[in-house]
Structure 1
């Protein structure tokens, strides 16, 4: 097992401080290894050290993290920005992530959360309602799919005869 795999295993087993120490050692010898930076971000996030996780997420993304790990890092960074009250940065992060990974619905859910934080309540609800309609297997929701989709972007409209 290589050092990076060992660090991931330590994090997964809950030995997060040990994982961080090993990852920091690896980062000195492998500064261009995006996976190391991603694992450092993830480990710090696991300890609720959001502010410390941000530069690691940013470095992982800027160092060329790819695939599902990239999508995970975008979600992690956007969510971390949101929890730190950096809503505009979170919004931009999620918008970029949704463009890059349009089929990753979890990005759209977290995007809706930051829209709520920014006071964009109608758009936040629209995003959530569309995701609900797209993904629900509930028969009651399925039977109202057309209405849910219709009202998703017309929540403030009233109809007066």
Structure 2
């Protein structure tokens, strides 16, 4: 039998209906103790995946408070912020996302979610600036000019 981490990875690769997904994750989470941050994170993730962001938010927070490993922590922060954005708490989402830097797990994904949150917060210029700066990192020829144009964007609040 595969270890728990391998079964979690396999779980996320499989598709299924909501009831099956929820039941299978519930079985996986039940194998761990109640205060296991990884299990809490996975439970929050499945809630989030099923469109139950409001239910996921306090579970993400608890998992983060208990201390997640270096792989799950940045994912949990991004997913928490995304859930907050989806329930209309854009100010808190922005605060969280502005504190996330690139890392080996999420690369610059936080910037994409920050741009979405800024846009939802009525700050389209800031959103475009963040998105262009993220895009600029991938441009071999025009990075400098795109960064320059991004810096010149003025948000009309």
Q: TM-score, length-normalised on structure 2? A: 0.80
Task: Measure, in 2, the Cα distance between the counterparts of 1:107 and 1:34.
Answer: 21
Q: How many residues align?
A: 149
For the pair 1:115 / 2:140, whether they are aligned, the reply is no
Q: Which residue of 2 aligns with 1:52?
A: 55
Matched position secondary structure for 1:135: coil
Q: Which residue of 2 aligns with 1:151?
A: 149
Task: Measure, in 2, the Cα distance between the counterparts of 1:3 and 1:89.
Answer: 36
Structure with the greater alpha carbon radius of gyration: 1
Change (3 A) 1:11 1:132: closer
For the 8 Å contact 1:10–1:18, the answer to whether it is kept is no
Q: 1:19 aligns with which of 8, 20, 24?
A: 24
Matched position secondary structure for 1:31: coil
Gaps of 5+ in 2: none
Gaps of 5+ in 1: none
5 Å matches for 1:57-72? 57-72=60-75
How far is 1:56 from its partner?
1.4
Matched position secondary structure for 1:97: coil
Q: 1:128 aligns with which of 91, 107, 131?
A: 131
For the 8 Å contact 2:26–2:43, the answer to whether it is kept is no
